[in-house]
Amino acid sequence: MDIRLSGVSHRYDQTEVLRDISLEIPSGKIVCIVGPSGCGKSTLLRLIGGLEQPSAGRILQVGTPPADCLNPLTYVFQDFALLPWRTVHGNISLVLEDHSIPSQDADDIIQNVLARTKLSDFAEALPKQLSGGMKQRVAIARALAVNPAVMLMDEPLSALDSQTRELLMDDLVNLWTRIPFTAVYVTHNLAEAVRLGHSIVVMSRRPGEIREIVHLDQPLEQRGLGNAELEDKQKYLWKLMREEAEAADAELIHV
């Protein structure tokens, strides 16, 4: 299933947040969205997933999601959004409970996603017992459990320290190479973008417009640390973004 945005604009009261965004998200690819803070990239993600309605323009699903897909558009949040009163197992079963799946099948799904995210030993742990990286792995496992057609990831690694971030990026690359998934990945971190994105959408400061879409052809599994080509891309992205970021930073002071 692809996602197509045509002429999407959005405003909150008087503030124009997004202007005329047209974008194609092809299935099986990771599209990263980068931009300075306050450029509306998180808003764009909420629009894509139907948590908010755009002021203008249309967001379309092209094609039908696979039959075993329980929740076509599935989020992974920056703050993990785990229920603190449920165990790891309970947090994942939460999203399966409304689908009247036989409990045996649900257990199989949970075991499977826990194994894929290397969490099998922590099924009965409460979120408060887990580190930030583990919590985000639980959230990713929960997202995988509903077999999403498109994963909408809102700065999923931004609340983590840089070492955990590296580990989780490797995990995401591994997950994708085993079973390619479609994802929109919002981040302000250019290193994450060049590491995970098949294409990178660079947005301008508010009102957010698409400045450029950068394509990366190198396969995900070959993009390690200190890769020269990635460094160049990252430098190029930073050049694109630098002015915007500076201007956005100065703007915030005047608010």
Partner 1 sequence: MSDQINADAIRPVPFRGGGFAPSSRRWVGLVVFVVLIALAEMGTRQGWISSLTLPKPSDVLKTFGELYSTGLLWKHLSVSLSRLIVGAALGASVGIAVGVMIGLFSYVRAGLVPLVAALFPIPKIALLPLFVIWFGIDEGSKYALIAFGTFTPTVVATYGAVDNVDRGLIRMGQSFNLSWWSIVRKIVLPGAMPGILSGLRISLAIAIILLVAAEMLGAEYGIGAYILEAGSLYDLERLFAGVTILSILGVTLSICIGMIERRLLRWRV
Interface ranges with partner 1 (CB under 8 A): 49, 51, 70-71, 73-75, 77, 79, 81, 83-86, 94-95, 97-98, 126-128, 142, 146
24 beta partners: 4
| Residue 82 or 173 with smaller CB distance to partner 1 | 82
Q: How far is the CB of 119 from partner 1 (least distance, A)?
A: 18
| CA dist., res. 91 & res. 83, Å (int) | 6
| Residue 122 or 248 with smaller CB distance to partner 1 | 122
CA-CA-CA-CA torsion sign (26, 46, 13, 247): negative
| Residue 138 or 173 with smaller CB distance to partner 1 | 138
In this structure, the strands spanning 73-76 and 150-154 are: parallel
Q: How far is the CB of 214 from partner 1 (least distance, A)?
A: 28
Q: How far is the CB of 98 from partner 1 (least distance, A)?
A: 5
| CA dist., res. 86 & res. 94, Å (int) | 9
3-state secondary structure of 134: helix
**Residue 139 near residue 81, CB atoms below 8 Å:** yes
| Residue 52 or 170 with smaller CB distance to partner 1 | 52
6 beta partners: 58
Q: How far is the CB of 95 from partner 1 (least distance, A)?
A: 4
